[in-house]
């Protein structure tokens, strides 16, 4: 399987982009399962910046909105090319340009 990174401006945009390959619950809030073989969702959500300081046990730091990489992200494991089915507003990348480098 190939890993593909997706980035959208919002949670709803990312969920809509993934709706072709993943089914969601009745409220549309949680992904349940791939619609067919060849798709697997690894991670979805916001990503902390790599330089975020977690602090220590005595005084842990809670992340603020500024501590996250902008946008919503997903790591999708795929066996085929699906770029034609993703809206142009979604950034599609491969491991050669990983999500952790997008904010630089």
Give 34-89 pLDDT, tens digit per residue. 666 666 766 677 888 888 899 998 999 999 999 988 888 887 777 766 666 677 77
Q: Which residues contact 8 (CB under 8 A, 6 or more apart)?
A: 14, 17, 71, 72, 73, 89, 90, 91
Q: Is the pLDDT of residue 102 over 90?
A: no
CA-closest candidate to residue 35, choices 26, 23, 49: 23
Lowest mean pLDDT among 3-7, 42-46, 60-64, 97-101: 97-101
- Check residue 34 and give its pLDDT: 61
Specify the 3-state DSSP secondary structure of 11.
Answer: helix
Q: What is the pLDDT of residues 13-46, one digit of tens each?
A: 887 777 766 766 666 566 655 666 666 766 677 8
- Check residue 81 and give its pLDDT: 66
Q: Do the Cβ atoms of 60 and 86 come closer than 8 Å?
A: no
* DSSP conformational letter for 17: H
pTM of the model: 0.64
Q: Is the pLDDT of residue 100 over 50?
A: no
- In Å, how far are 27, 53, 71, 78, 98 from 87, measured between CA atoms? 22, 35, 15, 17, 19
The secondary structure element, H or E, covering residue 23 is strand 22-24
């Amino acid at each position: 399987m190939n890993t593909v990174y997706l980035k959208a401006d919002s949670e709803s945009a990312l969920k809509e982009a993934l709706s072709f390959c993943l089914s969601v619950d009745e409220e549309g809030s949680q992904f349940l399962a791939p619609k067919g073989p060849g798709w697997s969702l690894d991670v979805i959500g916001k990503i902390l910046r790599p330089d975020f300081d977690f602090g220590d046990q005595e005084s842990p730091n809670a992340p603020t909105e500024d501590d996250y990489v902008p946008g919503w992200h997903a790591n999708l494991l795929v066996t085929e090319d699906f770029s034609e089915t993703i809206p142009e507003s979604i950034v599609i990348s491969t491991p050669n340009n990983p999500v952790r480098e997008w904010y630089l």
